[in-house]
Amino acid sequence: MPKSSKVTQREHSNEHVTESVADLLALEAPMDYKSSQMSMNMAGGGPPPIGKPDISPDLEDGRPAWNSKLEYILAQVGFSVGLGNVWRFPYLCQKNGGGAYLVPYFILLILIGIPLFFLELAVGQRIRRGSIGVWNYVYPRLGGIGVSSLMVCGFVGLYYNVIIGWSIFYFFQSFQYPLPWSDCPIRRNGSQAIVEPECEKSSATTYFWYRETLNITSTIADSGGLNWRMTLSLLAAWIIVCLAVIKGIQSSGKVMYFSSLFPYVVLFCFLVRGMFLKGAVDGIAHMFTPKLEIMLEPQVWREAATQVFFALGLGFGGVIAFSSYNKRDNNCHFDAVLVSIINFVTSILATLVVFAVLGFKANVMNEKCVVENAEKILGYLNSNVLSQDLIPPHVNFSHLTVSDYAEMYGVIKIVKEDSFAQLGLEPCLLEDELNKAGAVQGTGLAFIAFTEAMTHFPASPFWSVMFFFMLINLGLGSMIGTMTGITTPILDTFKIRKEVLTVGCCIVAFLCGLLFVQRSGNYFVTMFDDYSAGLPLTIVVILENISVAWIYGTKRQANSLTMLVKFMQDLEDMLGFRPSSIYFYLWKYVSPVCLIILISATVVEMAISPPGYNAWVQDLATERFQSYPPWALTMCFALIIVAMLPLPLVFIARHFNWIPDGSNKLSVSYRKSLAKEASNLEDETRFILGKNPSEAPSPMPSHRAYLGPGSTSPVELITNSTSISGYGSGYQTNPAPPKSES
């Protein structure tokens, strides 16, 4: 038996039965001495063990469990790997120094990403509750952390599923050839056919996005009514999410096998196909050409920290909820490192795919630029504006290359220096096109830039179907985690059927989501994305960090152990080994400092950046920045306040004892396990006290003691249900030495 196992630890302890009380209060399964091998082999004979089946701790507390470790890992990967890996990370990488951006990103992943991800996995697995129950247990006055997480999950889920709805619409539109966004629509004006002016001024893919898909208004104040096609797409998205999570992890775990793995199949297919496209290497080289001078700018580190923070899904409660269904001895440290590395590698893979395709698009657009400007030069030659002597003799206009045009452009620019600007010629540099392509992020990348590139693919409908099916699966994996972060805390707190709760949440969310499928809905998506999650989530995570590093165990400790040392010991008991001491310093000092800097930088950016949105101006066929009207600005800050309001309210209410500490809001399954374990504890106590001290099994070592002097006996403490006011606040006992029963 390994040295770190609970049975072996009990063999070397100088404590007694009160340790199992601590185990029960700390949500650990107490050791059943009557059925243990140690009791059966005890010297001196003793009474024979009472025959009871060995019940798994996960079955004892009635909490559902993952069918396999693979399902759990896929669920965490599906939650953390989302749309941001495809359309946010490549943009930040290109913007902030190319390959040099990977250096600060990786450093911050090590300093704050993996430690905080490990922390959330550990507390969820240790306490086996959702986000509300976990933080009520750790420190009831900060129980608002879980409520704020739930609020943010709700806000994010509302608009995130709208993006899945857009992807569903594009998915079904992809089953036609040519693709509907490949060409501008033609309008008939009598006998004359003209190209749609709005499309001609922008592009076919841009027109299809803003006009055919969103049918967007020019301001946020003009709702324009519901867009019925987007409304149906949103309804389909919520039906899919509901079916995926209606049975809890029993249904979502099965869905994860496909939704988490299929995106990798598509990404590899796109990467292989993209590498054979002309210009793909140019795009990747542009992507990873390091700009070391940019790497030293503070803005780069702030954006890298923000991306690390959101890429792992910290603070949403989904990570905690998923891990709460694990076995108590699961190696969550390995899970944290594995999922973080998979997330990082996925971001790199998606970046390679995106810039291979965008490099192809940049080459196509650059060649188009060369053809258009060559036609201008031919016109100037025919009208004698330019002399034929300016054209190098080897240039052939019927087979004009990019290098030939660049040479011709340079000669004309030097000779016609005074009147060159009037000619309206463009340099047609590939670098400029790559910068334009790389500057696109978010919906612009997925629904405009990428769709335009795919129109030039052979068999373009196939690749379009694959791409948007991938986006649907990426979004679905994240939505399953988001919904789990909402439903698990509620199910842990209230007696309600998970099917009823899931359907009810999806119906309410769909009705609230109608805000985003108005013709002006895209502006509200931008608003919620900018204001509902960023600052509140960062504050939630720093409070999580402080709760564990500076508060955890303050009322349950003995021997004057520091709070974080107590948590490290609990991790050792749970994992079977002691995590590296580097986590002690990261959790206690490094991560809080990094998060404080990130919060400060976020507040400063919000203060200096004018709040507004990019409105689509139909007459100009372009986007233009507009400030939010007063009512919309009020709505922006209301999102932040509502998300963070539970933090001070719960703290004040529990400080003055206006509301109970929340830890008595146990799930029905946990109430049953309390009664069962209390009964077992009485038998256990009588059995142990009936032996001589030399024959009794030794409990845990002294450093594991959670209880101190000044409480009642452990049996009274557990069996008296009215005395259990909070398993998060702990109890203190000072038991007398074991005596034989008379």
Contact 631, 223 (CB under 8 A): no
Contacts of 173 (CB under 8 A, 6+ apart): 179, 180, 181
Q: How many CB atoms lie within 10 A of CB 554?
A: 15
User: Nearest CA to 451 among 170, 69, 68, 137?
Assistant: 170
Residue 343 marked ligand-binding: yes
Rounded alpha-carbon distances, angstroms, from residue 106 to 91, 248, 305, 633: 16, 34, 10, 36
Give the CA diameter of the chain: 122
CA angle 69, 266, 175 (to 5 degrees): 125
Residue 86 marked ligand-binding: no
Residue 715 marked ligand-binding: no
**Per-residue three-class SS string for 143-206:** CHHHHHHHHHHHHHHHHHHHHHHHHHHHHHHCCCCCCCCCCCCEEEECCEEEECHHHHHCCHHH
Residue 81 marked ligand-binding: yes
User: Nearest CA to 160 among 313, 353, 340?
Assistant: 313
CA angle 186, 188, 193 (to 5 degrees): 65
Residue 232 marked ligand-binding: no
Half-sphere exposure of 538 (CA within 13 A, CB side): 23
DSSP type of residue 486: H
Q: Residue 31 and residue 9: Cα distance in Å, rounded?
A: 11
- For the record, the structure tokens of 42 come out as 């005890």
Counting Cβ atoms within 10 Å, is residue 53 exposed (0-12), middle (13-18) or buried (19+)?
exposed
Q: Residue 575 and residue 589: Cα distance in Å, rounded?
A: 23
Contact 623, 144 (CB under 8 A): no
Half-sphere exposure of 594 (CA within 13 A, CB side): 27
Q: Residue 670 and residue 660: Cα distance in Å, rounded?
A: 18
Instruction: Report cis status (omega within 30 of 0) of the bond before 610.
Output: no
Contact 265, 349 (CB under 8 A): no
Residue 419 marked ligand-binding: no
DSSP type of residue 316: S
Counting Cβ atoms within 10 Å, is residue 114 exposed (0-12), middle (13-18) or buried (19+)?
buried
DSSP type of residue 429: -
User: Binding site residues for Na(+), as ranges?
Assistant: 78, 81, 85, 343, 474, 478
User: Binding site residues, as ranges?
Assistant: 78, 81, 85, 343, 474, 478
